[in-house]
Amino acid sequence: MISKTEIEKFLSLKSYALVGASRNEKKFGNTLLKELKNRGMKIYPVHFDVDEIDGIKCYRNFYSFPEKVEGLIISVNKNKTLDIVREAYNCGIHYIWIQLMSDSKEAIQFCEENNISYISKECLLMYLEPVKSIHGFHRFFKKLFGRYPKSIDN
């Protein structure tokens, strides 16, 4: 189980790439992009087909960012995750959050073999304070059933 300390470290990074941002307002990638931007996080969406989403500039790949990005958030079909993790690693990104349903055994194994700090099987929106909407409800039940991450010191 991931620790709360590891989550806090990820959330303290200065900039993030987001793979899986979507123009479709019904998709989670769109919700995630808006939430991160609204919370003032420096976010660089990676999208292979569009130049911007809701006025936010998109980048075609990890090499096109105007600065070094510290963290990566992945919210795509799990069949694409390993290739994304490999490319991020080759660009020097060593902190990765793999959203629920995006994780694959191969991507996790690659992270472990290459000393990449990763978080998986967790929803990022459950940890962005203040927690809003359905994510607060989910967090309540994780805490109730003892499945909410604890600090390493506890």
Q: What is the pLDDT of residues 67-105, one digit of tens each?
A: 999 999 999 999 999 999 999 999 999 999 999 899 999
**Gyration radius from the chain CA atoms:** 15
pLDDT tens per residue across span 47-73: 989 999 999 999 999 999 999 999 999
Gap between the Cα atoms of 30 and 89, Å rounded: 24
More confident residue, 14 or 126: 14
Q: Report the Cα 80 to chain-centroid distance in Å.
A: 14
Q: Is the pLDDT of residue 107 over 90?
A: yes
- Under the banding of pLDDT at 50, 70 and 90, the label for residue 2 is confident
Gap between the Cα atoms of 154 and 37, Å rounded: 32
The matching CATH number, chosen from 3.10.105.10, 3.40.50.300, 3.40.190.10, 3.40.50.720, for 4-144 is: 3.40.50.720
pLDDT of residue 131: 60
- Under the banding of pLDDT at 50, 70 and 90, the label for residue 138 is low
More confident residue, 154 or 9: 9
Domain boundaries, the chain: 4-144
What is the DSSP track for 45-60?
EE-SS-SEETTEE-BS
Q: Torsions phi, psi of 71, nearest 5?
A: -125, 160
Joined tokens for residue 64: 């096109």
pLDDT of residue 137: 43
Locus of tokens 């290459």: 114
What is the percent of the chain with per-residue pLDDT over 70, rounded to a whole number?
Answer: 84
What is the percent of the chain with per-residue pLDDT over 90, rounded to a whole number?
Answer: 69
Order of strands across the sheet with 42-46? 42-46, 15-19, 71-74, 95-99, 117-122
Q: Torsions phi, psi of 42, nearest 5?
A: -80, 110
